[in-house]
Amino acid sequence: MSTYKVEDMSCGHCVATIEETVKTADPAADAACDLPSKTVAISGARNEALILQALRDAGYPAVQA
């Protein structure tokens, strides 16, 4: 499991978009967002680089926490 900081995550809609983006980029991956800490934990990913690019494209750049 990897944890990333997503500074632009500010509401429930952001959480839903991030979780959907992760699942779309890698159907084997699971994302667990924590809104108060602005982090997302990704597990089961086959290609985290692809997920991180998809998050950037969706407007939610993520950096290693």
pLDDT in tens, 35-45: 999 999 999 99
DSSP state string for 1-65: -EEEE-TT--SHHHHHHHHHHHHHH-TT-EEEEETTTTEEEEES-S-HHHHHHHHHHTT---EE-
* pLDDT for res 2: 95
| Tokens matching residue 36 | 């108060």
Segments of the chain with pLDDT less than 70? none
Boundaries of every domain in the chain: 9-59
* pLDDT for res 19: 97
Residue type, 53: Q
Whole-model pTM over 0.85: yes
Fold of 9-59: Alpha-Beta Plaits (3.30.70)
Residue type, 41: A
* pLDDT for res 65: 86
